[in-house]
Structure 1
Amino acid sequence: MAFESLASKLQETFKKLKGRGKLTEKDVKEAMREVKLALLEADVNFKVVKDFVNKVSERAVGSEVLESLTPGQHVIKIVKDELTDLMGSTQSKIVFAPKPPTVLMLVGLQGAGKTTTCGKLAAVLRKQGKKPLLVAGDIYRAAAIKQLQVVGNQLDIPVFTMGDKKSPVDIAKAAIQYAGLNGNDLIIIDTAGRLHINEELMEELVNIKQAVRPTEILLVVDAMTGQDAVNVAENFNQKLGIDGVILTKFDGDTRGGAALSVRAVTGKPIKFVGMGEKLSDLEPFYPDRIASRILGMGDILSLIDKAQEAFDQKKALELEKKIRAQQFTFDDFLNQLEQMKNMGPLDQVLGMIPGMNQKMLKNVEIDDKQLAHVEAIIKSMTKKERENPSIINSSRKKRIANGSGTKIQDVNNLLKQFEQMQKLMKQFGDPKKLKKGKMRFPFFG
């Protein structure tokens, strides 16, 4: 999970501060030493760490903090403010051209996930009312053009290609003419990468830049490469000039060095982060929300965003009516499970809840397979069984267990939990019990 090791160490450090009534300069100095070590272990750039710790220390030993009634919390607030500032203060959005089309040029080394990110970005911006066109400008890597076409086909987004015989510059120029004729107001160009930065690569990218004058050049880097990602970003910025960064594999970056160093070293903002392999797994980068997550304060705003995106408003209203009418069935339960899965892996969702720190999450068994088993059991039931589970006798249980690849005990457990849930739904659907405070929660006795 993103920032797992760093978050765990910082939260442990600040837990000690919070437990003290008064702080001395020595207390702050010891805490900052632990913060410094945690950041260096997270592969954060050394100069960035040094500047960060100096800024926090300077603010944390002021009389305003040391004489505060809650000095530990005051120091944590300072760290949160400085972390947010380090990563860019506010969300940095894509800049759209005042006169269409907006041309985005994605650059980066091989293996960073550039081609897939082109599709993910197009899908995100289509939701904002844009009509994207993907451009296959990588003519060197085997199957790069085919890969982009597959991505475009999955998303139902057109892909412009001229094969691998024309130059990338000619392809980019022709794509802009094509977009003008077909009403595409957003062009995303996939460019070639190399295993390392070299003159040939940079010369080609500069030529494309000069030919099409992109609205923004976005660098795609692998977050899990830590300090190497920062070095790549610095090099691309110096030689090409970039407008922003997209960090891929952010969900697997347990250290967080790239996210905490990129903006400080290059001066360029992180605009998006890749949170998984699905084509919907690209999220805007919010520095303040990330800082909150690192310090165990949760991220309610992102949780709400995910829920609003995953849950169907119409289905939610239908469910409310069913609850009020006490008609909650296994079909409704299955529908809720499917929408919950759309929010992403459970550990990511739980990590956004305030107070749910990394240590607590380690003690929680987050098994997405268990949800899959529940889903399989429900799908192995007949329509009548889903609507009226009371008819499920021992022979039916055996059939359901065989059909779902589970045990009869698993089926029994699910039926028992569902019965408890139905009782709870009946209490929700009874206004008299709600008014009189008679509602009891069967899960908690």
Structure 2
Amino acid sequence: MAAATRMQTPRETPKGAWTITCLLFLFMVVNFADKIVVGLAGVPIMTDLELTPEKFGLLGSSFFFLFSISAIAVGFLVNRIATRWVLLVLALIWALAQLPMVGAAGFTTLLICRVILGAGEGPAASVAIHAIYKWFPDEKRALPTAILTQGSAFGVIIAVPALNFIIVRYGWHYAFGALGVVGLAWVAAWFVLGKEGPLAGIEAVATREVRVPYARLLLSRTFIGCIAAAFSAYWALSLGLTWFTSFLIKGLGFSQEQAGIISVLPWIFGATVVITAGLLSQMLMARGYSTRIARGVLGAAPLVVGGLLMALVPYGGTAAVQIALIVVGSGLSGAIYVVCPLMIGEFTPVAQRGAAISIYGAVYTLAGIIAPNVMGRVVQGAANALDGFLLGFQVNAVVLVISGLLGLALLWPDTERARLQAAREATAPEFA
């Protein structure tokens, strides 16, 4: 029955789908440029504002204080409101939240603006994924999801050299102002070109979907597995956003200019991993592999490998080897960002998909509150900065391995779909 309903879903990609994909890719570019600026300017900010590592860790975590709450609230909202307008409002919030830092902003202003920015960016990835799924049928979603996800990497790759130039030449305040202007430019482009995808309503009618109680969705093993697996990947990502540049400068002795160049390496490698994972997942699906293999195993196994590599960082011997282990170890985790939304979308009714993906995003990104704080406390308590950073990366390694193993055990989206389909049919009169 589940396979039959999937076959009824239209296989053609609507006209304009790739234009929207490009716009949403740029949306994520801006999103991650906004995220990286504090980490990139970490040393100048700590110097100017006289912040300890622990206090800077608090600043890095502050971005996530309202991140998850906002993600969940907006996730339920997009079940009823067009994603076109939600995306527009979110991007406008980002742009306006950057502008106060152009002036003589102190720690409190910076902290408040980062909290507001986090509230605006919390729902971003989930809403963008929900929006793009309205343009592509299930079996064609892996590649556009990978492209959308890679807005994060390219946001860093593009932004780091430009922002670092501004930081070095004009000061960190103007880097925030530049991001505000770029955000307003995207808002204008989306207002003119953004559209709502046509497939969501067609899918819901074609499958005659019955809603599933949210408790049943959220407690399903694959949903829990997605959260566990993505949590560790986001731990690594949030360390990269907040602490990697400071590690290069204070731990390894690089200059701000050198650190700015090196800081793009994890994102270049991560972009390669994510695009490869998207193509490989779609290819495996086309060749008849189950989504357990093409999505579950493909996403979780790299977490274990990446964690084992990260565990070797303190034994790297040279700065080059240590950087390489961090780059590859953290970059491998990116595959999970492609496959988890696909798996959740696979077994979740269309009418509930926006909320389900947003709740997933809200929970796993809690790592963004924990990881920068943990690193800040470890660095401050260590005998020297380098020892503190190396211990912090080993903590990340343990988290990666454990969550990767949990992912391998729990990610079974095909059987999840069949189980929930049977449960919906059994309870259709009650929940229709």
* Common fold by TM > 0.5: no
What TM-score, normalized to structure 1? 0.23
Larger helix share, 1 or 2: 2
Larger Rg: 1
What TM-score, normalized to structure 2? 0.24
